[in-house]
Amino acid sequence: MTFVVTESCIKCKHTDCVEVCPVDCFYEGPNFLVIHPDECIDCALCEPECPVDAIFSEDELPKDQIEFIEINAELAEIWPNITEQIPPLPEAEEYKDILPKKHLLER
């Protein structure tokens, strides 16, 4: 099983989760983070660190976020690895409660 970053992360990109990941399985895009499913060890350390509740265990993923399993897998193959915490996006506070926002995902 793996953890999945979902739509709530888009335009926020808090990296508290990156800082606690023991296997460095996060990858960074312009306005979103993803978890590489083959690298995640299902430790669950990242989930409570996300201030916008964007990270879920694959088996607890809300039905309307199922497509993010594939999105995480696809983008983790092309985006660079991120291993240290950085500041969230400047617009993070403005977008933290906005859904839907999948259309804002920059690939």
Domain harbouring 7, CATH code: 3.30.70.20
30: containing domain: 3-81
For 46-88, the pLDDT digits (tens) are: 999 999 999 999 999 999 999 999 999 999 999 999 999 999 9
Residue 8 lies in a domain: yes
pLDDT > 70: what percent of the chain? 100
pTM of the model: 0.96
- Strands 33-35, 26-28: parallel, antiparallel or unpaired by DSSP? antiparallel
- 90 contacts: CB under 8 Å, gap ≥ 6: none
- The helix (H) or strand (E) run that includes residue 17 is helix 16-20
Reading the block at residue 18, the tokens are 């990156």
- The helix (H) or strand (E) run that includes residue 34 is strand 33-35
Domains in the chain, number:
1
